[in-house]
Structure 1
Amino acid sequence: MKWTTSRRRFQRVTTVKVEAYTKPYTKVATFPGQLETATEPPLNTYKNKEPYIGTIKSVKRIVGPNAPGETCHIVIDHEGNVPYWEGQSYGIIPPGENPKKPGMPNSVRLYSIASTRYGDDFDGRTASFCVRRAVYWDPETGKEDPSKKGICSNFLCDSKPGDKVQITGPSGKVMLLPEEDSKAKHIMVATGTGIAPYRGYLRRMFMEDIPTFKFDGLAWLFLGVANTDSLLYDAEFKDYLKMYPDNFRYDIALSREQRNASGGKMYVQVKIEEYSEEVFKLLDEGAHIYFCGLRGMMPGIQDTLSRVANARGENWETKLATLKKNKQWHVEVY
């Protein structure tokens, strides 16, 4: 889809938003089958000193012209040599010298994987990432400061098909999707690119035909972004709503376009509070709740949940301790 040319902070750019999604008419068959046979998730198959060399397969901008910043959907070909599970992360080592440690390579940067273990091509050979280009602006000049740009995010967003990339991992167990109970309830809270692991969860639940995993529970996604142009994988999620209305819920908080009941900005924690009775009831019944996004999202969410708990006559610290003990509480922030 072509978008009109827009002005953004002293520079004129032409942007293209490309949905990294093709609607399937039936569930998609996946292979190879051995990706389902492991009983433990793969961990740290490749280390920082000996990373795997993958290949960039595609880079697509997936936000509109009025989104604050640029976010890209990036697919990396690992030829099936770096298997992972949904909810894990890869480390990426950008090329070049570490500016803080002359003579040393750049530091590794962790990115949540935005695909299932089968990748976007459903053949187990790729992994996808949702990457927001990090840029910094000089407050005095109002211009971009190239000396402070995000090294790894810019490397990935500027990559071209065929470029090589150093991969470490996979890593992480906190955000693994529990699959013991196919009727389990899952409440997923994301801000921005924190949507990545949930895209993998939802594709596994609703898009892929997996003989050993038939989801018949509830997946409830709360997504907080700045505006409509910032929505990520929105068409994909809305199709799940149409196809699986009894198993999927999708609530969006647009902080720059919506207002809450008090006239303030609609942040994701406000949206959660609107449904707090249902959320707490599901948690009491054993639902899992996940949080992924910027570290700054958690204080506001914790304050909201604490206020709701107090209004219900509960002690939030006690309830939180119970959720953690029962392994219902999953947090990955950066």
Structure 2
Amino acid sequence: MLISYHGAKQVKAGSRFDAEARSFFSGDALSPFSTPLPRQRTKSFRAGVVRASTKVSKVKVPLELEEAKEPPLNLWKNKAPYKGVIKSVERIVGPNATGETCHIVIDHDGNVPYWEGQSYGIIAPGENPKKPGTPNTVRLYSIASTRYGDNFDGKTTSLCVRRAVYWDPETQKEDPAKKGVCSNFLCDAKPGDEVQITGPSGKVLLLPEEDPNAVHIMVATGTGIAPYRAYLRRMFMEDVPNFQFGGLAWLFLGVANTDSLLYHDEFSSYKEQYPENFRYDLALSREQKNQRGGKMYVQDKIEEYSSELFDLLDKGAHIYFCGLRGMMPGIQDTLKRVAEEQGIVWEEKLSQLKKNKQWHVEVY
């Protein structure tokens, strides 16, 4: 499936969107994945507790991007991709993280529009080593920004990408011949580098907006956080007249340790500003223990709140899963066990959730 990225073009200095974006983030630099919301005194998760702050107005956005009735799909093909430009690449994890994850902003100048929950295809430069004479294989990445991009002008996209490397157990070294071509290209890219884009693609994780007061339960591991970052920015950061969110967004994120957390300051800011509308629970497998004394995985955190979650699902809540494919068996087993404890036949419950379009899964 996917990995996450997000891109954003620089807003013209002095423009309406530039002023509003700067009013939303503290400081002069727009660093949406590490910078707190305006007028907030915060510390990172590794440094300490995020403190309460003054609530601020949402950012106005160019509403012409709300006019389309259907999501854009496959506007740019594999044989004729769009040539975007890298605006920035920044490592967004701490020194003790399990691997390197980067936040990548791509300028598409408004020519590759997308909706929240969709993906871009990226074609790394060079030839496919397995098929000489042909381009590299397209790799899909979940988009980590709203349709307006991180600078709110609709001309950039953000991706959240984990660098794929192979550790040889025999040599106890990384084997560069087996590294991920596309993820390494993106993480090594410099501002101004050209990037070939296909898509956008995907309808499975589109954010349902028919009911602005709906409940959205989001479960992620690692870079599977990407589409949820887009959801949450749309819900809590942008002033979109036709989507004034008043429901509940509940995020479950599973990573190895605090240094591996992604966009934590941003999510913590929402929790402080919208405590009635946003809940945020973490599963840190190398730092926390579950109720049985084992490592805390995201399914264990789900189990802690299982009664409440099942009640919300019974009332029509949507539940989303995005991340490594390997997370789903553990989650499914946990949900089945909890369901049986409540006298529920899980297979029937799952079938009903799918029929009602409450169950959304995109794994890779």
For 1:127, the aligned partner's letter is T
Is 1:53 aligned to residue 75 of structure 2? no
The Cα offsets for residues 154-179 of structure 1, whole Å up to 9 and x where unpaired, read as: 00000000000000000000000000
Match of 1:124 in 2: 154
Q: Does 1:23 align with 2:37?
A: yes
Unaligned runs of 5+ in 2: 1-30, 40-55
Matched, 1:207 2:237: yes
Aligned to 2:69: 39
SS in structure 2 of the partner of residue 277 of structure 1: helix
Please, which of 204, 207, 229 is the counterpart of residue 177 of structure 1? 207
Deviation at 1:23, TM superposition (A): 1.8
Q: Is the 8 A contact 2:205 2:362 kept in 1?
A: yes
Q: How does 1:1-334 map to 2 (within 5 A)?
A: 19-24=33-38, 26-334=56-364
Do 2:59 and 2:237's aligned partners in 1 also have CA atoms closer than 8 Å? no
Amino acid at match of 1:295: R
Q: Give a deviation string over 1:290-330, Cα, whole Å, max 9, x none.
A: 00000000000000000011111011111000000000000
On the 8 A contact 1:182/1:216 being kept in 2, the answer is yes
Q: SS of the residue aligned with 1:102?
A: strand
Alpha-carbon distance between aligned partners in 2 of 1:278 and 1:27, rounded to the nearest angstrom? 31
Considering Cα pairs closer than 8 Å and 6+ residues apart, tell me whether 1 or 2 has the greater RCO: 2
Assess, with a 3 A threshold, how the Cα gap between structure 1 residues 207 and 80 changes in structure 2: closer, same or farther.
Answer: same
Give the residue type in structure 1 aligned to 2:193: D
User: For the structure 1 residues 21 and 85, does the alpha-carbon distance in structure 2 shift closer, same or farther, using more than 3 Å as the test?
Assistant: farther
TM-aligned CA deviation for residue 18 of structure 1: 9.4
Give the secondary-structure state (helix, strand or coil) at the position aligned to 2:135. coil
Pick which of 17-26 and 298-307 moved more.
17-26
Name the amino acid aligned to 1:99: P
CA positional deviation for 1:138: 1.0
Q: Are the equivalent residues in 1 in contact too, given 2:36–2:265 (CA < 8 A)? A: no
Amino acid at match of 1:23: L
User: Aligned-pair RMSD on alpha carbons?
Assistant: 1.2
What amino acid is the match of 1:208?
E
Render the CA deviation track for 1:18-62: whole Å, top value 9, x for unaligned.
Answer: 944452453343432110011100000000000000000000000
Query: Which stretches of structure 1, 4 residues or longer, exceed 2 Å deviation after superposition?
Result: 17-22, 24-32
Q: Which residue of 2 aligns with 1:11?
A: none
TM-score normalised to structure 2 length: 0.86
Q: Which runs of 5+ in 1 are unaligned?
A: 1-16
Percent identity, aligned pairs only, is 77
Does the 8 Å contact 1:18/1:60 carry over to 2? Answer: no
Q: Distance in 2 between matches of 1:24 and 1:164?
A: 33
CA contact (8 A) 2:32 2:150 kept: no
Deviates more, 1:25-34 or 1:264-273: 25-34
Q: Which amino acid aligns with 2:362?
A: E
Q: Would you say the 8 A contact 1:192–1:224 is kept in 2?
A: yes
Q: State how far apart, in whole Å, the 2-side matches of 1:202 and 1:60 are.
A: 21
> After superposition, what is the alpha-carbon deviation per residue over 1:251-282, rounded to whole angstroms, capped at 9, x for unaligned?
00000000112110000000000000000000
| CA offsets 1:55-89 (integer angstroms, 9 cap, x no match) | 00000000000001100000000000110000000
Question: Between Structure 1 and Structure 2, how many residues are aligned?
Answer: 318
Q: Contact 1:45 / 1:170 at 8 angstroms: preserved in 2?
A: yes
